[in-house]
Amino acid sequence: MSRPFKAYLGKDPYIFVSYAHKDKEIVYEEIKRMYDLGYRIWYDEGITPAKKWSDEIADAIDDCSTFLVFISPEAIKSENVKDEIDYALDEKKKLLAIHIKETTLKKGLKLRLKRIQSIIRYNMNDDYYFEKLIDCLDPSIKRENQSIPEDRIAKVNEKTKKEAEENTRIEKEKQLKLKYEKLRQKAQQKIDEKQWEQAMSLFSNVIEICKEFNYIDGINIAEEMIAKVRENIKKDAEENERIEKEKQLKLQYEELRKEAQKHFDNGCWGEAKYLFNNSKEICQQLRYTEGIKLAEEMIAKVEENIKNDAEKNARIEKIKNLKLEYQNLKKKAEKKFALREWNTALSLFNIL
């Protein structure tokens, strides 16, 4: 960045500006506004690490009426800036410190600057800052002790207003981005915890924030995440429905198995077989291999018992019929015997 104006080299009261080379973009903008307001200012192009603190700078401090230092983390690391502050304090110069960035002062420097005037620039809007700055500066430092032309004031104020609006916009966007990131992380945490409804609500808030600073990528990401959350809600509902159905089938299976076993124990083979078949179908729905195997074993036992019972009943029926036939033949044989029909009686008795 080029020098904004030529440094003052005369004998009238002027401001000596001390700053770190790395802050020159901020500092040049600040001192240019002061210059536009009519103040005499001496400054250099910034001190690089290779330069030594020179007699020329010492002379400039000796002759200045106000020593102004711009404080920042870079400035307090600069040996040249610290030497300039020490020299100005030793020479009992009027000091003004402008904090352009939040800075933690080391103990020694903090002690040295404790009693001098300070302006916390980074916490002020432009209007208040320049009002405060003008109050701190001696009017005699202005070129030819001039007052500030109205058109210049209006120009500076307009520029200051626009910059203030831009700074406000940037700060708002910064805060919105911080809020967006916190909400996004919280929403992601809720997804990891499978708290779908809370995650969806948080991602909806993320979208609203992204709309405020027109962050299209953020909106797209949040909408994709909401779609995923809805898909997960659907999957969870389906899984819960499957689990509930499985639970009901297991209860139904257990009831059928107990009832089938009861009929089996009572020898009610038809009912037992019917119920064991039903329990087998339920086990097939559940993919419960052990239950299917058990049901098939019980069905086989039922069929074996049915077969055994059929054979037993057939044998009993045969015996019953044989007994009836025996009684009939016995009566017939006895009748023939009584009639002395010996040959017929003998034949019938042989049959018996």
* Residue-level pLDDT, tens digit, the chain, 352 residues: 688 999 998 899 999 999 998 999 999 999 999 999 899 999 985 444 444 557 889 999 999 999 999 999 999 999 999 999 999 999 999 999 999 999 998 888 888 888 788 999 998 888 888 889 998 999 889 886 455 555 555 655 666 677 678 878 888 888 888 888 898 899 999 999 989 999 889 989 989 988 888 889 889 988 999 999 999 999 989 999 989 988 888 898 889 889 989 989 998 988 988 998 998 898 898 888 888 998 899 899 989 999 998 999 999 999 999 999 889 888 888 888 888 888 888 888 888 7
Give me Rg for the CA atoms of the chain: 53
Nearest Cα residue to 26 out of 103, 86, 85: 103
The residue ranges of DSSP E strands in the chain, in sequence order, are: 15-18, 41-42, 66-71, 94-99, 117-119
Helix (H, G, I), strand (E, B) or coil at 325: helix
CATH 3.90.1150, applies to 171-236: no
The predicted pLDDT at position 48 comes to: 41
142 secondary structure, DSSP code: B
- CA angle 169–38–57, rounded 5-degree value: 95
Provide the H-helix boundaries in the chain: 24-36, 55-63, 73-77, 79-90, 107-112, 126-136, 150-192, 196-212, 216-265, 269-286, 289-338, 342-351
In which residue ranges of the chain is CATH 1.20.58 found? 171-236
Cβ pair 19, 46 in contact under 8 A: yes
Alpha carbon distance 80, 20 (integer Å): 8
117 secondary structure, DSSP code: E
Give the sheet arrangement for strand 94-99, strand by strand.
41-42, 15-18, 66-71, 94-99, 117-119
pTM of the model as a whole: 0.43
Cβ pair 217, 207 in contact under 8 A: no
The predicted pLDDT at position 256 comes to: 87
**CA 9 to chain centroid:** 60
CA distances from 36 to 30, 135, 140 (A): 10, 16, 15
- Could you tell me which residues come within 8 angstroms of residue 331 by beta carbon, excluding any fewer than 6 positions away? none
Type of residue at 64: C
The predicted pLDDT at position 274 comes to: 93
Alpha carbon distance 168, 141 (integer Å): 32
18 secondary structure, DSSP code: E
The predicted pLDDT at position 50 comes to: 41
The predicted pLDDT at position 52 comes to: 55
The predicted pLDDT at position 217 comes to: 87
Q: Which CATH number fits domain 15-148: 2.60.120.200, 1.10.238.10, 3.40.50.1580, 3.40.50.10140?
A: 3.40.50.10140
In which residue ranges of the chain is CATH 3.40.50.10140 found? 15-148
Alpha carbon distance 274, 255 (integer Å): 14
